[in-house]
Amino acid sequence: MNVIESTALGRRYRRTWALRDCTLGIPGGHIVALVGPNGAGKTTLLTMAVGLTKPTEGSVTVLGGVPAGSPDALDLIAFVAQDAPLYRNLPVADMPRVARNLNRRWDQGRADDRLDRLGIPRRQRVGQLSGGQKAQLALTIALARRPRLLVLDEPLAALDPVARDDFMASIVEEAARDDISVVLSSHVLAELERVASYLIVLTRGHVQVAGPVSELLAMHGAGLEEIALRHLRAGAGSADPRAPRTTTGTETAR
């Protein structure tokens, strides 16, 4: 089953299309890198996939159902938004307690283990944590919900190189251990190159390329970073943002 499937999906804000004609079929079991310049439509795509933004046109299903269509569907998807929203005034130890009351599949042992391993001080207020610690706390809460699909919007933005490395290592380890599909947007191509097995490049609201990295590699003879750069440049330079496209895997070309 595809974890995210969209058909001619689009979202318009007033007269501007944030995302248009987006047809994707992302198979399960991947770590998906969603890449694109500022304003390309990445957050719009992710928030439509998790049911926080309503499409203007087209359709999207997640794990075979309507995004956020039922409490059961909500339980299976964890979304970490761009600013890793957390309660700044709560002590670290209270964040999992709050989350536990909101999530029916909550695994307290998982949350405790991760906080112990990370060495994040429990009594410190969340607002006093470093950017890396906040990102790890948000990831800990997302993972303790035991999702089937983990969606992260630019989780690396505030992190230094070591924190980025640790964060991505956590994602790879946890995704493999619990068979979680992951979709994450990021501008940090070098980090994505190391972990992602599926690539989507968006520019100016349109899909430029989508497919398993192994197939793109065979087709282009280049790695994720190089393929992404080529398509980002092509998308930026083209008068018609729909012109240069490469699709493979289960994505349906228009």
CB of 237 to ligand ATP, least distance (A): 18
Q: How many Å apart are CA 137 and CA 28, to the nearest integer?
A: 25
Indicate whether 44 belongs to the interface with ligand ATP (CB under 6 A): yes
Query: Quick one: 54 or 123, whose CB is closer to ligand ATP?
Result: 54
Nearer of residues 86 and 156 to ligand ATP, judged by Cβ: 156
Q: State in angstroms the smallest separation of the CB of 215 from ligand ATP.
A: 24
State the SS3 of the chain.
CEEEEEEEEEEEECCEEEEEEEEEEEECCCEEEEECCCCCCHHHHHHHHCCCCCCCEEEEEECCECCCCCHHHHHCEEEECCCCCCCCCCECCHHHHHHHHHCCCCCHHHHHHHHHHHCCCCCCEHHHCCHHHHHHHHHHHHHHCCCCEEEEECCCCCCCHHHHHHHHHHHHHHHHHHCCEEEEECCCHHHHHHHCCEEEEEECCEEEEEEEHHHHHHHHCCCHHHHHHHHHHHHHHCCCCCCCCEECCCCCCC
Closest to ligand ATP by CB, 75 or 82: 82
Distance CA 159, CA 185 (A): 14
Question: What is the C-alpha separation between 185 and 52, in angstroms, rounded?
Answer: 16
Q: Which two tokens stand for residue 48?
A: 């439509």
Q: Which of 9, 22, 31, 36 binds ligand ATP (CB under 6 A)?
A: 36
Residue whose CB is less far from ligand ATP, 41 or 51:
41
Is 38 one of the binding residues for ligand ATP (CB under 6 A)? yes
Q: Residue 16 or residue 214: which is nearer to ligand ATP going by CB?
A: 16
Cβ at position 106, least distance to ligand ATP in Å: 29
Is residue 42 part of the contact set for ligand ATP (CB under 6 A)?
A: yes
Residue of 41, 51, 96, 132 that binds ligand ATP (CB under 6 A): 41
Closest distance to ligand ATP from the beta carbon of 49 (Å): 12
Q: From the CB of 22, what's the least distance to ligand ATP, in Å? A: 11
Which residues between 12 and 31 bind ligand ATP (CB under 6 A)? 13, 16, 18
> In this chain, which of 25, 27, 39, 65 binds ligand ATP, going by CB under 6 A?
39
> How many chain residues bind ligand ATP (CB under 6 A)?
11
CB of 30 to ligand ATP, least distance (A): 20
Where does this chain bind ligand ATP (CB under 6 A)? 13, 16, 18, 36, 38-44
